[in-house]
Amino acid sequence: MPFRIPHILLLAAGLLAGSLVHAAGLDDAYERLFQAQLAIAQKGDPQGMYHLGEMYENGLGTEENHEKALEWYDRAAKGGHPLAKRRLDEEQKSMQIARVRDDSEKAAEAARRRAAEEAARAAQAAEIARRKSDEESVRQAKAAEAAKNKAEEEARIAAQRLAKADAERNAAAKREAARRAAFKKAWEAEIKRAKAAGNVFE
């Protein structure tokens, strides 16, 4: 029987992830679906652009390509597609969370190094003050101890910021996992509906 591409499969809200394509043994079918969706998108249809972005993002009928997915989401968003705009917003938030986490890690590491250096200076100054017992040595020891305490406090704050950034990154990862799970579930439900209607890849 001929290969048929039902309209709902071209414009469905969710498309199957690439791993499921291979599991189902439908590589060729999804490659044809990708070509059909590409043709729709190239005609300037925002809906088609959005779903083409999904296909690129999930490796459906083509190699997974995050950069191209964002490119088609951007085109769809400029065409007024609300889901494409939301997807781009989600991407921007994820990138910002990743940047904050990386910056927080660097800051925490730098703060730990400073704290260790100031602790070493304070210990050295305290030893000198113990040996000499003169006013200047004692003053320097007190100043070094204050600098150590300040550096340790800054390290503590930096560690808290890193922990917060880690928590935000983990929460974002969970949201993304949930989004992909919903994506998979929606596609599987659509496949069942299409099969029940006899409107399937053949």
Which range has the worst mean pLDDT, 19-28, 49-58, 65-74?
A: 19-28
Domain ranges of the chain: 7-84, 86-181
What is the spatial distance between Cα 67 and Cα 69, in angstroms, rounded to a whole number? Answer: 5
The band of 15, judged by pLDDT with boundaries at 50, 70 and 90, is: very low
The mean pLDDT value for 133-137 works out to 90
* Cβ atoms of residues 172 and 164 within 8 Å: no
Query: What do you get for the CA distance between the two ends of the chain, in Å?
Result: 6
The band of 33, judged by pLDDT with boundaries at 50, 70 and 90, is: confident
Which pLDDT value is given to residue 154? 96
Which range has the worst mean pLDDT, 43-52, 75-84, 95-104, 180-189?
A: 180-189
What is the spatial distance between Cα 189 and Cα 58, in angstroms, rounded to a whole number? Answer: 17
Higher pLDDT, 27 or 124: 124
The band of 110, judged by pLDDT with boundaries at 50, 70 and 90, is: very high
Higher pLDDT, 21 or 132: 132
Fold adopted by 7-84 = 1.25.40
Which range has the worst mean pLDDT, 103-107, 155-159, 170-174, 188-192?
A: 188-192
User: CB neighbours (10 Å) of residue 133?
Assistant: 9
* Cβ atoms of residues 141 and 128 within 8 Å: yes
CA atoms within 13 A on the CB side of 187: 21
Q: Is the pLDDT of residue 87 over 60?
A: yes
| 48-63 b/e (C-beta count within 10 Å ≥ 16 → b) | bbbbbbbbbbbbbbbe
* Cβ atoms of residues 18 and 64 within 8 Å: yes
The mean pLDDT value for 87-109 works out to 95
